C-alpha cells in the first residue's frame, strides 16, 4: 500500500497552501459573478414588471445573433486582433530598448527614470480624461486638447523656421506616435527595468573576463535572464488595451448595454474574452518555449 503522505504529496500540499488565498478569493468573489454573467448571455431581456426583470431563455441565440445579425461586431473583433498584434511587438521592442538605456549609469538617470514613470501615474487615472477630452467647456478644451493629437509648440517652432509643410506633417506625425508609444509602454518599461536590475552583477563580470562584447553579452546573458518577463509584458499589454479609451470593441459592448441588450452584450463580452484568452494562449505557448528559466 502506498503511503498517504509521501514527501512529494506533502510538498504539493504546501504549494496549495501558498496558493490558497487565490483559490478562496476566486470561489468567494469571482466565480459567482462570472456564472451570473455567463447565464445572462443565454437570456434576453423582455421588460420590467414591478421592478423585476422579465427574461426569456434564448439558448445560443445571442451568440448566433452577434455573428449573423449584428452588422459591426465580427468586423470589430477582427480589427481588434489585426491592430493588437503589431502594436504588441512595437511596444515590447520599444520598452525593452528604453529599459536598457535607463539601466545604464549616466548623470541624470534618476530624473530620466522619474520622467518615464509619469505615464504610469497619469494614464491610469481620471486626470487623463480631464486632460484629454472633457474640460469644463469647449473654449478651454480647444486650448488643451491639441496636445493629445499633435504638438503645438513644436509645430509653431517649425512654422517659424519656415520648414516645408509636408516635413512638418511628417515630424508631427512621428512625434505623436512616439507620444502614444511612450504613454502605452510605461508599465512595460518598469517591468523590464526591474528584471534587468535583478540580474546578478557577477554574470556580467564573468562575461567581461571571458572577453564578450556588449552585443553577445546582451544575447547570452541579458536577454535570456529577462525573457520570463517578456511573457508578463505580453499579458499586460493585452490587458491594458481593455481599459483604453479608444478600444472600439469595448465601447461597442458598452453601447449595447446602454441600449438594454444585456444578454447580447454579455454574449459579446464572453466571445471577446475567450478569443483573447485563446490568442494569448497561442502567443504565450509560442514564446514560452524560448523562455529561459535558470532552474529548468
Partner 1 sequence: MHFVRPSGRGKINTEAIKIKKTRRVIGSILRAILLVGIGYIILYPLLFMLTMSFMTYFDIVNPAVVWIPREWVLTNYRNALELLNFNTALRNSVELTLGTAFLQTLSCALIGYGFARYKFFGRNFLFALVILTLLVPPSTVVISQIIQMRFFNPFGLFGLVGAEPMNLLNRRAALFMPAALGMGLRSGIFIYMFRQYFRGQPKELEDAARVDGCGHIGIFARVMSPNAGSIYLTVLLFAIVWNWNDYYSVIMFVDRMRTLPVALAFMRDTLRQASQVAHLGIVAADPYTQAASLMAGAFLSLAPVLALYVLLQRYFTESVERSGIVG
Binding to partner 1 in span 82-121, by CB under 8 A: 98, 101, 104, 106, 108-110, 112-121
Q: Which residue in 58, 122, 212, 283 binds partner 1 (CB under 8 A)?
A: 122
Q: How far is the CB of 200 from partner 1 (least distance, A)?
A: 5
Q: Which residue has the cell 462570472?
A: 34
Q: Which residue in 7, 153, 164, 209 binds partner 1 (CB under 8 A)?
A: 153
The answer to whether residue 171 forms part of the interface with partner 1 (CB under 8 A) is no
CA 149 vs. chain centroid, Å, equals 21
Rounded to the nearest 10 degrees, what angle do helices 262-288 and 31-40 cross at?
120
> 295 by DSSP, 3-state: which?
coil
Say how far apart CA 152 and CA 164 lie, in whole Å. Answer: 16
- By CB under 8 A, the residues from 35 to 64 that bind partner 1 are 36-37
Rounded to the nearest 5 percent, the helix, strand and coil shares of the chain are: 75, 5, 20
Q: How far is the CB of 155 from partner 1 (least distance, A)?
A: 12
Span of 22-30, 72-80, 84-92, 158-166 interacting with partner 1 by CB under 8 A: 22-30
- By CB under 8 A, the residues from 198 to 237 that bind partner 1 are 198-203, 225, 228-229, 231-232, 235-236
- Helix then strand count (H, E) for the chain reads 15, 2
- List the one residue out of 182, 207, 219 whose CA is nearest residue 102: 182
Q: Which residue in 46, 82, 89, 197 binds partner 1 (CB under 8 A)?
A: 197
User: Parallel, antiparallel, or unpaired: how do β-strands 43-49 and 52-57 relate?
Assistant: antiparallel
- Is residue 242 within 8 Å of 280, Cβ to Cβ? no
- Is residue 189 within 8 Å of 168, Cβ to Cβ? no
The answer to whether residue 273 forms part of the interface with partner 1 (CB under 8 A) is yes
Q: How far is the CB of 59 from partner 1 (least distance, A)?
A: 20
The answer to whether residue 127 forms part of the interface with partner 1 (CB under 8 A) is yes
Q: How far is the CB of 199 from partner 1 (least distance, A)?
A: 8
Q: How far is the CB of 122 from partner 1 (least distance, A)?
A: 7
The answer to whether residue 81 forms part of the interface with partner 1 (CB under 8 A) is no
Amino acid at each position: 500500500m502506498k503511503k498517504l503522505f509521501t514527501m512529494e504529496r506533502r510538498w504539493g500540499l504546501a504549494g496549495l497552501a501558498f496558493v490558497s488565498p487565490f483559490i478562496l478569493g476566486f470561489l468567494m468573489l469571482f466565480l459567482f459573478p462570472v456564472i451570473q454573467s455567463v447565464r445572462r448571455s443565454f437570456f434576453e431581456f423582455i421588460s420590467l414588471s414591478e421592478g423585476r426583470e422579465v427574461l426569456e431563455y434564448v439558448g445560443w441565440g445571442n451568440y448566433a445573433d452577434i455573428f449573423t445579425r449584428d452588422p459591426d461586431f465580427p468586423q470589430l473583433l477582427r480589427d481588434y486582433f489585426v491592430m493588437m498584434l503589431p502594436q504588441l511587438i512595437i511596444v515590447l521592442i520599444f520598452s525593452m530598448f528604453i529599459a536598457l538605456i535607463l539601466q545604464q549609469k549616466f548623470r541624470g538617470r534618476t530624473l530620466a527614470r522619474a520622467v518615464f514613470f509619469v505615464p504610469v501615474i497619469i494614464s491610469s487615472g481620471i486626470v487623463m480624461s480631464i486632460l484629454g477630452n472633457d474640460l469644463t467647456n469647449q473654449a478651454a478644451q480647444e486650448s488643451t486638447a491639441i496636445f493629445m493629437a499633435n504638438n503645438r509648440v513644436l509645430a509653431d517652432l517649425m512654422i517659424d523656421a519656415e520648414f516645408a509643410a509636408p516635413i512638418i506633417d511628417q515630424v508631427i506625425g512621428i512625434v505623436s506616435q512616439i507620444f502614444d508609444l511612450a504613454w502605452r509602454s510605461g508599465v512595460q518599461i518598469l517591468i523590464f527595468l526591474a528584471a534587468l536590475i535583478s540580474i546578478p552583477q557577477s554574470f556580467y563580470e564573468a562575461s567581461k573576463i571571458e572577453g564578450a562584447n556588449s552585443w553577445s553579452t546582451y544575447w547570452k546573458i541579458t536577454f535570456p535572464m529577462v525573457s520570463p518577463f517578456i511573457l508578463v509584458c505580453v499579458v499586460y499589454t493585452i490587458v491594458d488595451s481593455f481599459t483604453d479609451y479608444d478600444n472600439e470593441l469595448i465601447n461597442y459592448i458598452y453601447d449595447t448595454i446602454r441600449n438594454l441588450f444585456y444578454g447580447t452584450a454579455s454574449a459579446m463580452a464572453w466571445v471577446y474574452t475567450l478569443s483573447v484568452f485563446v490568442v494569448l494562449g497561442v502567443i504565450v505557448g509560442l514564446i514560452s518555449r524560448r523562455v529561459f528559466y535558470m532552474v529548468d
